[in-house]
A and B are shown apart, each in its own frame.
Chain A
Amino acid sequence: MTSRVGCLAIALSVLAVLGGCAVPQPWVKPYEREGLSDPIMRLNRDALAAKHSEHVRDIREAGRGATGVQGGGCGCK
């Protein structure tokens, strides 16, 4: 079912481009990104602290992955 939705999305996009409809333009220009460049907006600010917290949780919880913390795969008991 998901691949059918995907195919539909592709078909619509191709038709839009061929039909001359505007493909959406980036709506936040580089000169408007001051608010996003602040370190407070970083999802992963301190690598070591994030890795340590992730390790503490990995040992005690069965849920793992999709955390955005790189360098997983410790596999410790």
Chain B
Amino acid sequence: MAASKPADRINARLLAALASLLGGVFVTGAARAVPLPENRAEAMVHTYKGGGVTATGPALLVRKSIADKISLTGTYYLDAVSNASIDVVTTASPYKENRNDFGLAADYAVRDSLVTLAVGASKEPDYSTRSLSLDIAQETFGGMTTVNVGFTRAADEVTKIGDSSFLDQAKHWQFRLGITQILTPKWLASVNLEAIADTGYLGNTYRVARVFGAAVPERHPRTRSSRAVKFRAIGNLGGRDAVRAEYRYFWDTWDIKAHTIEGGYSRYFGQSFLADGYVRYYTQTAALFYSDNAQGETTYVSRNRQLSNFDNLVIGGKLSFDWKKQPGLYDLKANAGVELYNLKYKNFTDIRNGSPYSLRAAVLQLYLTATY
């Protein structure tokens, strides 16, 4: 079956990379042990508001190392969504629903490697996901180079509110490879690759496409294979500040090509404040079968604006305040982050007024972080 080939290729690549890495784990002598991630607790309240959609909720993370051998992390995330987006108001009626997301991860340090096993589950009234991940981070070359290999397998179950006979599945495979390299005592760089393969139901049960001006249910392919490569550099400028830049190129079998470029600057102020500012520009071309108003009959057709030709400019800032500190015992910080999104669609029209759609949104994150 054609659908299993991308998964088979990813499997083969993963086994090869794993074999090389594990071989390395046994070959390097009794080198020092890589430390486990620090104990940490985070509590967050997040809000997204824009384009008729409001999503708010709390999120929690707790990480604790047990007997200095294994570190366990538990996460919980809630999205209370109130959806009156352009798709929803023009083709259906506004609705409210909750999405619950749980995660559990275990980190195990063996010699120069950190092995992480994670499971996750996400549940909304009509969509549920389960995922399993394995990540290995291996330090080599005197600790100057870190190689990361990761693998995720996820399975989704899709239902439809108002149609109890609808039931479908989707499967996802992700393979990650990354190298982080220390360049100088002040500069770090990294390259990350990720390949994702999806099979199954990849569309939206409620969204409609437009063919010859009339609304028809959308038809998405049942497979998708994507690749992304990202280059990143971060440098300590010496004046208690740092600058970072990154570029990502994405391409997939739906003919979408996307570029992301991001730059950020961080700086300490006084004894207790840390401020970050960043700008991220994203641009993508439309999927092969995407059409705002299709003028022909094709096997696949979609009016999903996520697959259209658009730009996204994000401007963000974060402020962190060192609230309470006891060196060696705990360190509590209060943080606030704001992101402003500006999406301009090139070939998706707002059918309420006939002009290309544009979307402005704001994200607010307020959270406490503690290391203990």
Contact B185 A48 (CB under 8 A): no
Cβ–Cβ < 8 Å partners of A33 in chain B: 182, 185
User: Is B350 interfacial (CB-CB < 8 Å)?
Assistant: no
Distance of A23 Cα from B181 Cα, bound (Å): 17
User: Is B124 interfacial (CB-CB < 8 Å)?
Assistant: yes
The B interface is mostly helix, strand or loop, or mixed, namely strand
Cβ–Cβ < 8 Å partners of B306 in chain A: 59-62
How many residues in A have their beta carbons less than 8 Å from beta carbons of B?
43
- A interface footprint on B133-164 (CB within 8 Å = 1, 0 otherwise): 10100000111100000101010100000000
Partner of B204, one of A25, A46, A77: A77
> Can you name the residue of chain A whose Cβ is closest to the Cβ of B148?
A68
Distance of A55 Cα from B168 Cα, bound (Å): 23
A47 and B122 contact, Cβ closer than 8 Å, known pairs A53-B339, A72-B152: no
> Can you name the residue of chain B whose Cβ is closest to the Cβ of A70?
B135
The stretch that binds A, out of B6-14, B15-23, B64-72, B224-232, is B224-232
- B interface footprint on A50-65 (CB within 8 Å = 1, 0 otherwise): 0111001101111111
Contact B260 A65 (CB under 8 A): no
Central interface residue in A53, A62, A64, A77, by most chain B CB within 10 Å: A62
Partner of B174, one of A57, A68, A72, A77: A72
A62 and B185 contact, Cβ closer than 8 Å, known pairs A46-B335, A67-B230: no
* Chain A nearest Cβ from B176, distance in angstroms: 7
User: Is B270 interfacial (CB-CB < 8 Å)?
Assistant: no
Partner of A66, one of B142, B229, B365: B229
A71 and B129 contact, Cβ closer than 8 Å, known pairs A64-B196, A64-B250: no
Partner of A73, one of B44, B154, B188: B154
* Chain B nearest Cβ from A34, distance in angstroms: 8
Cβ–Cβ < 8 Å partners of B242 in chain A: 38, 40-41
Distance of A62 Cα from B230 Cα, bound (Å): 16
A63 and B335 contact, Cβ closer than 8 Å, known pairs A70-B118, A71-B118: no
User: Is A18 interfacial (CB-CB < 8 Å)?
Assistant: no
Partner of A28, one of B75, B184, B230, B256: B184
Within 8 A of A (CB), among B178-204: 178, 180, 182, 184-186, 188, 190, 192-196, 204
Distance of A33 Cα from B188 Cα, bound (Å): 11
> Can you name the residue of chain B whose Cβ is closest to the Cβ of A30?
B143
Contact A75 B335 (CB under 8 A): no
How many residues in B have their beta carbons less than 8 Å from beta carbons of A?
91
Extra contacts besides A25-B142, A47-B75, A51-B75 (19): CB < 8 Å: A36-B182, A40-B241, A43-B188, A43-B232, A47-B61, A53-B363, A61-B282, A61-B284, A62-B254, A66-B192, A67-B192, A68-B192, A70-B105, A70-B116, A71-B118, A73-B129, A73-B133, A73-B174, A76-B127
The chain B residues found within 8 Å of chain A, CB to CB, are 40, 42, 44, 46, 48, 59-61, 75, 77, 99, 101, 103, 105, 116, 118, 120, 122, 124, 127, 129, 131, 133, 135, 141-144, 150, 152, 154, 156, 170, 172, 174, 176, 178, 180, 182, 184-186, 188, 190, 192-196, 204, 226-230, 232, 234, 236, 238, 240-242, 244, 248, 250, 252, 254, 256, 258, 260, 266-268, 274, 282, 284, 287, 306-307, 312, 316, 318, 335, 337, 339, 341, 343, 363, 365, 367, 369
Can you list 7 pairs linking A and B with CB atoms under 8 Å apart?
A26-B143, A36-B182, A53-B363, A61-B282, A61-B312, A71-B75, A74-B120
The chain A residues found within 8 Å of chain B, CB to CB, are 25-30, 32-36, 38-41, 43, 46-49, 51-53, 56-57, 59-68, 70-77
